Amino acid sequence: MSKVIKIKKGLDIKLLGKAEKIYIKAELSDKYAVKPTDFPGIFPKLVAKPGTRVKAGATLFYDKNHPEVKFTAPVSGEVAEVNRGERRRILEVVINADKEIEYETFATGDPESLSKEKIAETILESGMWPAIRQRPYAIIANPADTPRDIFISAFDTAPLAPDYDFLVKDRDEEFQAGIDALNKLTTGDIHLGLNARYPASGVFENARNVKKHYFKGPHPAGNVGIQIHHVKPINKGEIIWYLNPQDVIIIGRLFMKGIYDASKVVALTGSEVLKPRYYKMISGACITPLIKDNLKKEFELRFISGNPLTGSKITSASYLGYYDSQVTIIPEGNYYEFFGWASPGFKKYSMSRTFFSWLQPEKRYRIDTNKHGGERAYVITSQYEKVFPMDIYPVSLVKSIMIEDIDLMEKLGIYEVAEEDMALCEFVCTSKIPVQSIVRQGLDMMKNEMG
């Protein structure tokens, strides 16, 4: 094992409802959706209108600014509806799925023998390009760019996060094929971040043509942004691409089989799930079959596509997000608590010693969405610095975004961060500041300013 990078700042939030390592084949959903809202910075142009028959891999819409970046159907069937929001913004393209999936076919071949142009063309045509994101800005990568390096984090430290070693089990060939394809797209290296707390899966350990880095520490040690910062930080003018391991596998499968097979493994987690487990399903599936007869009825529930810190709020009849390998269900916090701060708090979680629960460091908690107070004066408390493992002043950065000072944002490190990297800052914030949404506003501002 190479040198271990130790992350000292951070916070592991111990919640009830971690998924048991059992594979369950989910009941096949009859509805799937691709949501433009999953992709910051795109302007969707609809191709497949309601009533259109599509195969898996057929184009549903594309980005107006980059027409070559296509978003394709994960299954075959009929486009049932296009749900829109304010100003007719497209929110979802919903497909009524066939019982048997038909696939569009794409070129196959050993990625090592294919040219960079052919690999990029195949990924673009299949609709897998949105899986490749870039820093800065945490948006879909521009196909015209050549990244300095590509980063892949092989573990996740977020609350109730799935075990990536379990997600990729027995996918050695597909993962390696994906790595070989990505290697052709960069003049630099592919960096693979591994968890030093335990031996990694053979899928990751045996991967070739990658540089392996080992990390040890609390969340957010598994975030790709933290790993980039500690391995090879981004300088102004540089571009780095990054992917999720399951998306690397789907890309590898594309070159091996010539089809867009969006099958993945998803963890159903949370304190309100009766049997939290891993499910084999298809990206964009409706979560209703996943949670059927598997929920507690004690509280009103919050459904989240993703983890409790960074996931998106959805309904029980909504769809899995494009980048998510986790569905979380926790209690909705729609209540008021009289003098809650004055109680001993044996059942309450706190990163400080505000409550007596600190005497039980290994206890797991049922945490709801209640913020326990509204937004208040934004004061310096040094809380952010305790959970943010970058050489950046997080409070100063957030304030520079709030006043829209482009030059100051640049000097304070806006290029290195994304919402997920500062999610813990929002969690521990005494002032109840919506840090993640502010960071996204700052990233969008910088992108528009810098072109």
Band of the pLDDT at 343, cuts 50, 70, 90? low
Task: Give CA–CA dist 209/57, Å, rounded.
Answer: 28
Considering the chain, what percentage of its residues have pLDDT values greater than 70?
95
Q: Which CATH number fits domain 264-359: 3.10.20, 1.10.10, 3.40.50, 1.20.1260?
A: 3.10.20
210 against 297, higher pLDDT: 210
The mean of the pLDDT values for the chain is 93
Within 156-258, strands assigned E span: 190-195, 211-216, 240-243
Q: What is the pLDDT of residue 362?
A: 73
- List C-alpha distances in Å: 244 to 14, 154, 325: 23, 8, 9
Residue 341 has pLDDT above 60, yes or no: no
Average pLDDT over residues 314-323: 97
Q: What is the pLDDT of residue 26?
A: 79
Q: Give kind and range of the element (H or E) at residue 251.
A: helix 245-257
Residue spans of the domains in the chain: they are 4-257, 264-359, 383-450
Q: What is the pLDDT of residue 355?
A: 65
Structure tokens at 253: 């499968």
pTM of the model: 0.95
SS3 per-residue string spanning 302-367: EEEECCCCCCEEECCCCECCCCCCEEEEEECCCCCCCCHHHCCCCCCCCCCCCCHHHHCCCCCECC
Q: What is the pLDDT of residue 22?
A: 92
* Cis? peptide before 136, omega within 30° of 0: yes
Q: Give kind and range of the element (H or E) at residue 205.
A: helix 202-205
> pLDDT tens digits for 103-130?
999 989 999 999 999 999 999 999 999 9
The answer to which of 15-24, 294-303, 333-342, 360-369 has the lowest mean pLDDT is: 333-342
